[in-house]
Chains A and B, each alone.
Chain A
């Protein structure tokens, strides 16, 4: 399983989301290997990951990605919002978590 966090530059806010996802996965005791990486809008293609995380206002810039695999975030630093999104994915994919 691979998560990819995307932003315009691929260095700042996407990296921040990656760090938050990684700490949340750890806190949720997810044992399955999930790779989390970050990238910029321009170089992101559907084959690069299973799920894509992006700030909501940039949603239109990733129209090339399948909508059911794109998570639009209102806040990049709201633990509850990110955790809710991750829980939804883990449950859909039958991945164990606490």
Chain B
């Protein structure tokens, strides 16, 4: 199964956006399909604010997530790439790849996480994601084209 398809990928310039804006926008396709609720997005933002920038899991990458909520219908992932860097919490944590992860329980997201980990640890794929100029180019990294 392809980890991320076009309908869950967005790209924007990112100018004047806050990290809260980036997280909210990254979750939009999942909200629109009612796979997740607004409560979950708010939880993610609250966790970031309270616990700091630890979701900046690698250079230029944020993995936005929070504890499972029953309102999450299924394990899911979305991606927002910004042309400009947006700081998560402070200027030590610039990011351009904003992944948004949700899961209804402690195990449903294992496959997603495994596939995502395999892509992010592969430096050539990561560079392709950062260099991509369109949603199509981003989607191609996940479909292996």
Q: Which residues of A contact B (CB under 8 A)?
A: 7-9, 11-13, 15-16, 19-20, 23, 55, 57-58, 61, 75-79
Contact = CB atoms under 8 A, between A and B. Distances in A.
B54 A58 contact: yes
Among A9, A20, A23, find the residue whose CB has the most chain B CB atoms closer than 10 A: A9
Among A16, A20, A75, find the residue whose CB has the most chain B CB atoms closer than 10 A: A16
B17 interface: no
Contacts of B54: 7-8, 13, 55, 57-58
14 contacts: A9-B65, A11-B67, A12-B65, A16-B63, A16-B116, A16-B117, A23-B121, A58-B51, A76-B57, A76-B58, A77-B57, A77-B58, A77-B126, A79-B121
A19 B47 contact: no
B113 interface: yes
Contacts, number: 64
Interface stretch (B19-27, B101-109, B130-138): B101-109
A6 B65 CA distance: 15
Nearest to B126: A77
Contacts of B65: 9, 11-13
Given A20-B117, A79-B121, A11 B59 contact: no
Interface residue tally on B, bucketed by range = 20 to 34
A11 B51 contact: no
Interface in B47-65: 47, 51-59, 61, 63, 65
B47 A9 contact: yes
B68 A11 contact: yes
Contacts of B55: 12-13
B45 interface: no
Interface in B1-52: 47, 51-52
Contacts of B53: 57
